[in-house]
Amino acid sequence: METMVERLIRYCKVNTRSDATSTAVPSTVSQVEFAKMLAKELEELGFSEVTHRLDNGFVVATVPSNLDKPVDTLGFIAHFDTADFNSENISPQIIENYDGQDILLNKNMDVVMQVEKFPNLRNYVGHTLITTDGTTLLGADDKAGIVEIIEAMLYFISHPEVKHGELRIAFGPDEEIGRGANLFDAKGFRAKYAYTLDGSVLGELEYESFNAASAKVTLHGVSVHPGTAKDKMVNTAKLAFEFDSMLPEDEVPEKTEGYQGFFLLSDMKTTIEEGHMNYIVRDHDKQKFLARKQMMLDNAKAMNEKYGANRVVVDMKDSYYNMAEVISKDFKPVELAKQAMENLGIQPIIKPIRGGTDGSKISFMGIPTPNLFTGAENFHGKYEFASKQIMEKAVDVIIEIVKLNAM
């Protein structure tokens, strides 16, 4: 049977990058093909009820209960799309018994993952690392999660003497563009509780996420010849600078951490006559989140009053909400994961996610869904890597959660 590392490398080599500009579900054809491949493999591996849902892009499957008593059905979820970074010709590299020194990812291009810049590497001395070749991302976010879920389920399939309740798995598209779980069939999934395997370092157990919104700011100016522009020209580049300066200077991603929220100007394009700015708005606290959105609307109103026209238009759309709002009402999945880690000698790291997972949306669909570590780090870029040893521990945690739930 294929090893865990072999499966990860094979999956990572497939370009499954999602596309925020696409309206298709999934957003890219490559994800559809990957899902078909996954469904076929799960059938061959002995999973039950394997289905590739064409309406939402998810692959779902079951490991039936072997208990003579009812227990809660547990679900395990991961996504197969990758982020907005080069995903063509991914060539993972294996580093055995990592020595704690800088890692030369690509000799020809002189791409080095330096310990000075990535001190987290010191945590992996002696580990087997799977890295990129310095030109692409790896895709362990979240194919490491997929592999770990499959590996854990195969343990139960091949060890029928180990008692467990019904186990459901789901692998889905488009998480990286924030809409993968929008069409998730929570009722049909049948799980009482679920876990996303979409975290990072050993011990991560996350049940708090941001409240998130996107804001599109459209700017309307007036273009005239600069020689006769006095009291006539309105330059949207200047409007953009002014609008952004009205937001708190220190409430940006590069200056915040923990529970601190932020505004992020992700991109901007202006001519004299027309401009567009795209923001993401984040905060763990619901009231602060609402206040942030209102601040943007108030700033636009103030500028329109100042310039006497509808120069600034803000269109806001909520993306997801803090899953703690749901999970705090039923802590059982968190308690199970925490106990599982402690049983295995792993120190749980319970902290808020400075982002979101599919679990952020699925929790509000009625399935409390905290997030677990995968053993991969430096997501979304050429310095991404995964540790074989921590991936194995993630598998162990899944197995222990299932065992505890069966007691």
Assess whether pLDDT exceeds 70 at residue 132.
yes
Please say whether the beta carbons of 169 and 154 come within 8 A.
Answer: no
pLDDT value of residue 105 = 98
Is 254 a residue of the active site?
no
Q: Which residue has tokens 């708090």?
A: 208
Q: What is the mean pLDDT of residues 29-44?
A: 98
For residue 402, pLDDT beyond 70:
yes
Distance separating alpha carbons of residues 165 and 64, to the nearest angstrom: 7
Residues 46 and 97 in one domain: yes
What's the rounded mean pLDDT across residues 207-216? 96
Per-residue pLDDT band for 322 (boundaries 50, 70, 90) equals very high
Cβ proximity of 360 and 209 under 8 Å? yes
From the list 274, 141, 149, the residue with the least C-alpha distance to 199 is 141
Q: Look at residue 104 and give its three-state secondary structure.
A: strand
Q: Token pair of 246, please? A: 């009205």
The residue whose two tokens read 């488009």 is 174
* Domain extent at residue 363: 4-209+322-406
* 67 and 94 share one domain: yes
Residue of 19, 81, 198, 204 marked catalytic:
81
- pLDDT tens track for 159-207: 999 999 999 999 999 999 989 999 999 999 999 999 999 999 999 999 9
Name the band, by pLDDT with cuts 50, 70 and 90, for residue 1. low
Percent helix, strand and coil across the chain, each to the nearest 5:
35, 25, 45
Looking up residue 187, the CATH number of its domain turns out to be 3.40.630.10
Say if residue 215 is in the same domain as residue 266: yes
| Same domain, residue pair 123 and 231 | no
Q: Grade residue 355 by pLDDT with cuts at 50, 70 and 90.
A: confident
Per-residue pLDDT, 83: 95
Peptide bond into 352 cis (omega under 30): no
Question: What is the structure's pLDDT at 73?
Answer: 98
Residue-wise pLDDT tens digits, 216-258 = 999 999 999 999 999 999 999 999 999 999 999 999 999 999 9
Residue type present at position 261: G
Q: Output the 3-class SS for 220-257.
A: ECECCCHHHCCCCCECHHHHHHHHHHCCCCCCCHHHCC
Does residue 178 sit in the same domain as residue 229? no
> Are 334 and 382 in a shared domain?
yes
Helix 388-406, helix 4-12: angle, nearest 10: 110
Check whether residue 299 and residue 266 sit in a common domain: yes
Residue 308 has pLDDT above 70, yes or no: yes
Same-domain status, 283 and 333: no
Residue where one domain finishes, among candidates 260, 294, 319: 319
Whether residues 303 and 347 fall in one domain? no
pTM above 0.85, yes or no: yes
298 is a catalytic site residue: no
Q: What is the dihedral of CA 185, 324, 146, 99, to 10 degrees?
A: 170
Whether pLDDT at 390 is above 70: yes
Residue keyed to tokens 């309740």: 165
- Is residue 18 domain-shared with residue 103, that is, in the same domain? yes
Select from 261, 284, 319 the last residue of a domain: 319
**Cβ(372)–Cβ(194) under 8 Å?**
no
Pair (144, 11) in one structural domain:
yes
Look up the CATH number of the domain holding residue 257. 3.30.70.360
Cis peptide before 102 (omega within 30 of 0): no
Q: How far apart are CA 59 and CA 61, in angstroms?
A: 7
Cβ 19 vs Cβ 82: under 8 Å = no
Q: End of a domain among 319, 342, 370?
A: 319
Element (H, E) at 95: strand 93-95
The model's confidence at residue 140, banded by pLDDT at 50, 70 and 90, is: very high
Give backbone dihedrals phi and psi of 77, rounded to 5 degrees, phi first.
Answer: -130, 140
Question: Could you tell me how far CA 281 lies from the centroid of its own chain?
Answer: 16
Pair of tokens at residue 8: 């990860």
The answer to whether 374 touches 199, Cβ cutoff 8 Å, is yes
Structural tokens at position 316: 């806001």
Q: Among residues of the chain, what percentage have pLDDT more than 70? A: 100
Instruction: Share the mean pLDDT of the chain.
Output: 97
Q: Tell whether 216 and 196 lie within a shared domain.
A: no
Structural domains of the chain, count: 2
The β-bridge partners of 197 are 372
Structure confidence at residue 356 as a pLDDT band (50, 70, 90): confident
Q: What is the mean pLDDT of residues 58-83?
A: 97
Total residues found in the chain within this entry: 407
Annotated catalytic residue within 166, 174, 175, 358:
175
